[in-house]
Every structure is written in C-alpha cells, then in structure tokens.
Structure 1
Amino acid sequence: MSQRSGYDPGIPCWVDLSSTDVEASARFYGEVFGWQADMIDDPEAGGYGMFLHQGKHVAGLGPVMGAESPSFWNMFVATDDAAALAERVRKAGGTVTMDPMAVFDEGVMTVFQAPDSSYAAAWQAGNHRGAELVNEPVSFCWNELVTRDPQAAEGFYAAVFGWTPNLQEMEGIKYTEWHRGERAIAGMVEMFSDYPAATPSFWMTYFAVADLEATMAAAEGAGATVLVRAMEAPPGRFSMLTDPQGAAFSIIELHEIA
C-alpha cells in the first residue's frame, strides 16, 4: 500500500472537495469509491470532514464558501512555512485569498490565486500531515493544471514552490511535467478550445482506480456526467467526469503503482 506519514515541501499532499451539497457528495463518493465520510463534530469546523478508505485519510469534504460558489476539488501543496509561502505568492504576482490560518492544531493553511486565474492551497502540517494513502485505488495520484496561460503559470508555480517545468509532446499535445528535484509531482496542459469560454484555469485531481470501465459505470449510475471517456495516456487509461454537484475530477487505471 502507498501509505504516507508526511510530505516534503513542494509536494502535493492533500485534496478536498468543496461541495454545494455535502451529504449528497458523501453518498456519491461512497457509492463510487467506497469511501466513508467522517464529519467533524464541532461547529467551529464549519461542516468539514474526512473521507476514509481502509481507515486511512484520503481526502477532505466541506461546504462551499458562499451561495454562488460551484463545487470543486482543491489541491494542497506541502510547505514548512505558510507565511513565507504566502509572501512568495505575492512577489510572484499572485493573490493571497486566505491569509495563513491555523486550523485547530491540525496545521496552517493558506489559499491563493495564480496569475493564470487558477486557485491552489498550501498546507503546513501539524497533527494532520496530509493524505495517508496515495497512488493506488481509490486515492489521489496526480494533479494537473488545466490553464489558459501556460507561460504565466510556469513562472508563478516555479517561483512559489520551486518546481521545474519539463515540456513534452504527446501525440501532438504539449504537456508539462512539474518536477521537484528528480521527481515528477504534477502536470500542466493548455486548456483546449472546446472548454466553455467562461471556464477559468483550474487544477484537476486524478484518482487511481482498479477498473476504469467499472468505476465509470458506477459513477454514471450515481449521477455523474462523463466528459472524456477512456482515453490512453502513458501512465494509463483515464476518464474525466463531473460529479452530480458539478465538481470535475478524473479517474485513471494506472499501469504501475508509484
């Protein structure tokens, strides 16, 4: 099992879902991934909870902030100093939308918007050190920036996280792998023209699955919409979906477990 007890700075460490209907989202991902939702019984937690798989924390779940906000998956990157990271965000031309804030004794988080309009978050670990299970069914295995401005995103994320871009071409599509040292830790692709014009740049979360077709069928049966059906990529076959609350996510049947 790909178990984790912590993450080095600059490595994606957690994902959570901001949902317009938390109870419905808990049911959906329970049906599709077999996750159990463990909601925090404290009013100060704001309705936040954890998704568990085999007793391990694999993702978070909470309500959207504001009635007009859509459902979406968030990416968190590990940092050893959230305040210093927020300052790097500002110097690199980004906007800090949530100043570093202690979350009980679990850790410190900050949220920001990059110059390409994408949102991301950083997490300075306390008692909560991030996802305890990754890279195997049914846990997150990859995060990919779908951006309208690759040049702006490249300079920004390199400055904030120390990532190095590695541009590749796959079947005529330019794809950037973000590296931290020798390790590929995230990806980036320019947004295709068939996206709706109002779609901003965003981070897509990929979840590993054991059987792509079976998971896709389960997701559709539970109310998901399939946007991209069973495409091949070097790591494995993948599909892109939106859940019944409208949050986009991808599933992938990996050739190898990292």
Structure 2
Amino acid sequence: MPTPDITPGAPCWIDLMTSDTEKAKSFYSALFGWTYETGDQEKYGGYITASKDGRMVAGIMQKQADMGAMPDVWSTYLRTDDIKATTEAAAAHGGQVLLEPMEVPEQGSMAMYGDSSGAAIGAWQFGEMKGYEVAAESGAPAWHELLAKDYESAVSFYQSVFGWETAVMSDTPEFRYTTLGAGDDAKAGIMDAAGFLPDQVPSMWSVYFAVDDTDATVERAVTLGATVLQAAEDTPFGRLATLSDPTGAAFKVIQSMAPAS
C-alpha cells in the first residue's frame, strides 16, 4: 500500500511516552509485530522508532523522572508547514504551549500544546522525517479521535490553528461528532465527550490501531499484560475495543467490517 498522503493539519505521527521502554517494546512487538531502531542518545535522546514490515509506524520514548505522576500516554502529532506560526496561533486561540518548537536534528521540528479543551496535541514540521509510512493496515494507526469536554471550542481551535476543513458527521444531543475532511476522506474526529467523561478525566486524544481480528487481538493483549477498558463491540465503523498496555497507556483497536476483496 502506498505511503499515506499526509496533508497539512492531518495526523502524521504518534508516539508513546512510557515508564518502561523495554516492557513497551516487548508488548507491542508481540501484539502488532513491530520491530525497533533506537536513535543516538546524544542526538535523539534514545528515541525508539517502531516499524511494521520495515515501514515506520510510531515512536516510543522514556518518561523522564521529573514528570512525576504523569501517566503513560499515546500522543498524536498533526502536520504543520510553519511550526512557529502554529505555536503562535495555538496560544492566541485558547490553547497552552506545553513545549516550545524544538528542532530534532535533520528530522524536523516538534511542539506540544494543550488545546482549548485541555487535551494535549503535538505538532510536527517535516524535515527528513515525513510521518508514519503506513496507516490503516494491521498493526498501524488507523484513526485519531479527540474526546472533548468543550466540543465547540475544540472544533474552532483546530479550524483556526491547524486549518482544518471540517464536516459535521452527527449533531444530536446523544452524539455530536465533527471530522477533519468528510466521509471516506476523513482523517480524524472530534467527539463531544462532556456527557460521559468523568470530572477527573481531562479531554484527550485517542489512537486507534487497525487489526485483522479485534477479539483475537484483545485476547492476545490480555495474555501479554494488557487491561480491557472497554470490551469489544460492533460499531458502524468496525469492531472496536479499548485497552491499556502493561504500564497503563490507553489505546484502541479496530477491525474493519468491510468484506475482504
């Protein structure tokens, strides 16, 4: 399958901040078939790149001791062609700059924000590294979704800061959902989560991984030390389950319900 067409504003990369990189590597290798390459410690801080069948899909990095009680977490990065302007826009539209733009030698530049709903989101400006090389295939990222407690503010934030052209997929009191792009061309979604996220749980981005068989993946994940946060269920978009890995980082797995061609 060709490398994903990652347009400005669209998800381009994911990485895992973990308290135990060796445990994470073992888990995701056994679950998704990932292989790894560790970057130079001095140049890249030992950042680990995960690949599926030789194509990059994700990163893994060690959580620093000074991060205290911050949980292990998967993060999504959106493509920007001007990280300085994006950072200024994030601050001007109700967001917080959590990490100022930082150049990663030869690879590109990154920044991290808290959006206007309180969720953490990364930005990546391409250098040599132009995002993940495979998507929507087994063991690779398939979808990115913001659960927003302040839905209207969040939609406006991504329109203004990342230039999203959005489509309203649903606007009922029970299910309000906006996507980046429309229909089959949609690349990410924002869900109104005010009605179901507990008070102590902030707005958050979720990463979905494509799998061939959701039930078998869940069963395998549990034997590897995962916890089931939401049991497998059929949805209009595929059979979906939510898990946390052995150190507590949450992620989703989804099996397409489309018939095999």
Alpha-carbon distance in structure 2 between the residues aligned to 1:196 and 1:172: 18
Residue 192 of structure 2: aligned partner: 190
Code of the residue aligned with 1:60 in structure 2: it is G
SS at match of 1:43: helix
Residue 3 of structure 1: aligned partner: 3
Alpha-carbon distance in structure 1 between the residues aligned to 2:133 and 2:256: 19
1:93, distance to aligned residue in structure 2 (A): 1.4
Unpaired segments ≥5 residues, structure 2 = none
- Counterparts in 2 of 1:93 and 1:194: CA distance versus 1, 3 Å: closer
Deviations 1:68-122 (A, max 9, x none): 2210001011111111111111111111111111101100111110121101011
Whether the aligned pair in 2 keeps the contact of 1:165 and 1:176 (CA below 8 Å) is no
Whether the aligned pair in 2 keeps the contact of 1:17 and 1:73 (CA below 8 Å) is yes
Q: Percent identity?
A: 34
Whether 1:43 aligns to 2:45 is no
Whether the aligned pair in 2 keeps the contact of 1:108 and 1:125 (CA below 8 Å) is yes
Alpha-carbon distance in structure 1 between the residues aligned to 2:31 and 2:254: 14
1:87-102 to 2 correspondence within 5 Å? 87-102=88-103
Residue 219 of structure 1: aligned partner: 221
- Counterparts in 2 of 1:171 and 1:214: CA distance versus 1, 3 Å: farther
- Counterparts in 2 of 1:170 and 1:232: CA distance versus 1, 3 Å: farther
Alpha-carbon distance in structure 1 between the residues aligned to 2:210 and 2:176: 20
1:99-110 to 2 correspondence within 5 Å? 99-110=100-111
Unpaired segments ≥5 residues, structure 1 = none
SS at match of 1:207: strand
Whether the aligned pair in 2 keeps the contact of 1:15 and 1:75 (CA below 8 Å) is yes
1:158, distance to aligned residue in structure 2 (A): 1.2
1:161-180 to 2 correspondence within 5 Å? 161-169=162-170, 173-180=174-181
Whether the aligned pair in 1 keeps the contact of 2:240 and 2:255 (CA below 8 Å) is yes
Whether the aligned pair in 2 keeps the contact of 1:167 and 1:174 (CA below 8 Å) is no
- Counterparts in 2 of 1:195 and 1:236: CA distance versus 1, 3 Å: same
Residue 253 of structure 1: aligned partner: 255
- Counterparts in 2 of 1:77 and 1:209: CA distance versus 1, 3 Å: same
Residue 128 of structure 1: aligned partner: 129
Structure 1 residues 169-178 or 52-61, which shifts more?
169-178
SS at match of 1:135: coil
SS at match of 1:73: strand
TM-score, L = length of structure 2: 0.91
Residue 147 of structure 2: aligned partner: 146
Alpha-carbon distance in structure 2 between the residues aligned to 1:82 and 1:180: 22
TM-score, L = length of structure 1: 0.92
Whether the aligned pair in 2 keeps the contact of 1:110 and 1:123 (CA below 8 Å) is yes
Whether the aligned pair in 2 keeps the contact of 1:77 and 1:123 (CA below 8 Å) is yes
Whether the aligned pair in 2 keeps the contact of 1:19 and 1:245 (CA below 8 Å) is yes
